[in-house]
Amino acid sequence: MKNPITSSICCDIIVTLTNYKRFIYLIQKAGETPQWLRHSFIFILDGIGEKEEQEMHDWYYGLRGKQALPNAIVLKGRKDLWGNQAGLYDSGLMASDNPFVYFQSEKDELPVNIDKSINYLYKNPDYYAVIGKCETFLEDGTLIESFPGTNIDNEFLYDCEEAIKLFPSYLHPLSSVIRKELFTKVPYWDMDKNFNEFAYYYFVLRAVYSKNVKIDYVPYTIKVSNRQREHAIVIGPKLRARLIHDIRLWVDEFGENEYTEFQHDILQLLEEGAITTFKEIDARIEDYLDSRR
C-alpha cells in the first residue's frame, strides 16, 4: 500500500526473515523515527512456523492501534525457496507496489540516510539505482569496516563502476536504493543458477553491464551491517567455499576482458587460500586502478 500523501517517493523495504524477533525489533526501530513511517516493509518468512507468525501478527496489530508504525506486509516464503535469499527477495518484489526498493538483511540495523538516495532517484529519473556505503559493526558497537573509502569531501576515492567490474564486493550491492523498473530490465533472481548468498554480486554485474541502465555511486545511504566477532574479518573456509562456487557461476559470462581476467586471478587466490579477507580483494582492486592512472 502506498503512502497516500508521498507515494511518489516511498520505498519498499524487503526483508527475508528467519527470526520473528527481528521483525519486532526492526518495526520498533522504524516506529521511532518519522521518516520511516512513509515507507513500507515486506517480510518474507524463511522457515518461520505458524505459531511465531501468529505472534508477529498479534504484536503488530495490537500495537498499531496505540502508536504509529510503518505499514508491514508478511508473506510466507515458498518452502522450496527456504534458505534461498535471492529467490525470497524476488518473491517480495512481486508484492512491492512502491517505486523504489531496498533489500534489508534481518540481522542488520536500518540503513542511514535512505531518503537521500530515494530523493536522488526521484529527481534523476534516468538513473535506476544509487549504491552507497557499508559500515560493519561488532555486536558491542565496535566499527570494524567502512567501505568504499571516501575523502574529506565525502567522495569515493576510486571509480566505483570500474571497481565493481573488477570484483563486485568492492561496494555492497545491498547498500542500493533501486528503482523498481530496473527489475524489468535485469531480473534480480536467475532461477537457472544455483547461487549461495552472493547472488547480489551477479545481479549488480548484470546491471552494470546492461545497456541503458545508469547507476550512480554516492555515499548517501549507509548499510549498517552487524557481525559476530568470529566472522568479523576473516572469510572462513565454509564461506570461502560458497563464494568460490558463486564466482564460478558468473565469472565467464561477460566475455573475456581485463575485468574477467582479474576475477579469475581472485578466484584462483581464494581457491589457494592466499586471500582470506574481503579487504585483501579491495586492496588488489585499488592497486590495479592506481596502476592505470
What distance separates the 2 farthest-apart alpha carbons in the chain?
60
Q: Residues of 25-39 as b/e, b for ≥16 C-beta within 10 angstroms? A: ebbeebbeeeebebb
Domains and CATH numbers, the chain: 1-107 (3.90.550.10), 114-293 (no CATH)
3-state secondary structure of 71: strand
Global pTM value: 0.92
pLDDT at 291: 93
pLDDT at 228: 63
pLDDT at 1: 42
pLDDT at 232: 56
Q: Which neighbouring-strand residues pair with 75?
A: 44
Across 35-107, where does the E strand assignment appear? 40-45, 71-76, 100-105
Report residues of the chain scoring pLDDT below 50. Answer: 1-8
